[in-house]
């Protein structure tokens, strides 16, 4: 792809030879002929003077230091992620329903959906348009899901969960598992019924083998833009604020309330 074409796709200004070929995005330490890299931090600026990359995405104030063509960006990291999507488009299965899928007669699946092999969709489920549901997913009765849903293999979504638009669930995630509720009685333990639900708002991503427990009563809520890494646990009746992020192996006990834009490092609890 020519630099001129790439700049047009991104809607960004470029300086230098617009006919240079961009073959592949690369990390800065692996830059070579035909690659495009990014520099978003002043401490890496000296590398602009020696890189053999075909092009660098840079802040405007660093552009003059580059010895190769540049794309000017207010956020080079963001625009580099857009370049990655251009060169490596996300997997999008063709629309259609695999003949081995089982969909309840009263379930509704929106237009342009892809339903993979051995998927099970229960009664009363409502799924919006452009869904991509990969093989072996199980969606229990009464679930509602918005548009542009992506569900990878072996995901389980329990009864009554509510999921917004542009939500992505990675392989093995469990939405709406029973909360951990037990009490003591006459020398033993009794299970407290977990009769609540899970609400996941728009633009949430949930990593592989992560679990969101249903509420005992009421709802466990993940607000807009929350991002969970793999093997994260959100306990019953938690409420997670907008755009908060959790690295792998984070655990939250029941009824934890977390605000907006919080970040949790791996293995914290």
Catalytically active residues are: 236
Q: Which two three-digit tokens encode residue 47?
A: 């590398």
Q: How far is CA 12 from the centre of its chain?
A: 25
3-state secondary structure 103-156: ECCCCEECCCCEECCCCEECCCCEECCCCEECCCCEECCCCEECCCCEECCCCE
Q: Which two tokens stand for residue 150?
A: 């992506």
What single-letter DSSP state applies at residue 43? G
Which of 116-136 are b and which e, b meaning 16 or more Cβ less than 10 Å from the residue's Cβ?
A: beebebbebbebbebbbbbbb
Q: Phi then psi for 74, rounded to 5 degrees?
A: -75, -15
Q: What CA–CA distance (Å, rounded) separates 23 from 77? A: 19
Torsion, Cα of 260, 216, 178, 232 (10° steps): 20
Q: Are the beta carbons of 183 and 198 closer than 8 angstroms?
A: no
Provide the angle, in degrees to the nearest 10, between the axes of the packed helices 3-10 and 76-87: 110
Q: In a 10 Å sphere around its CB, with 0-12 CB exposed, 13-18 middle and 19+ buried, how is residue 22 labelled?
A: buried
β-strand 205-206 against 168-169: which pairing, if any? parallel
């Amino acid at each position: 792809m020519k630099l001129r074409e790439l700049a047009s796709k991104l809607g960004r200004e470029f300086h230098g030879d617009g006919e240079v070929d961009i073959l592949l995005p690369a990390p800065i330490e692996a830059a070579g002929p035909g690659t495009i890299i990014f520099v978003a931090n002043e401490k890496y600026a000296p590398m602009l003077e020696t890189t053999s990359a075909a092009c660098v995405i840079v802040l405007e104030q660093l552009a003059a230091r580059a010895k190769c063509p540049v794309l000017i960006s207010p956020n080079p990291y963001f625009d580099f992620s857009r370049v990655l999507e251009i060169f490596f488009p996300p997997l999008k299965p063709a629309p259609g329903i695999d003949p081995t899928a089982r969909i309840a007669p009263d379930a509704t699946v929106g237009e342009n959906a892809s339903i993979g092999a051995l998927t099970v969709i229960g009664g009363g489920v409502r799924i919006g348009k452009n869904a991509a549901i990969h093989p072996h997913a199980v969606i229990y009765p009464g679930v509602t899901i918005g548009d542009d849903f992506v569900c990878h293999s072996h995901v389980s979504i329990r009864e009554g969960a509510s999921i917004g638009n542009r939500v992505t669930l990675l392989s093995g995630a469990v939405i709406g598992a029973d909360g951990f509720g037990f009490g003591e009685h006459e020398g033993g333990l009794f299970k407290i019924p977990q009769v609540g639900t899970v609400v996941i708002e728009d633009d949430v991503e949930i990593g592989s083998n992560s679990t969101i427990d249903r509420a005992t009563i009421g709802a466990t809520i993940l607000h807009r833009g929350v991002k969970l890494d793999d093997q994260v646990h959100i306990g019953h009746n938690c409420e997670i604020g907008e755009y908060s992020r959790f690295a792998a192996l984070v655990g939250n006990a029941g009824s934890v309330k977390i605000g907006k834009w919080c970040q949790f490092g791996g293995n914290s609890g």
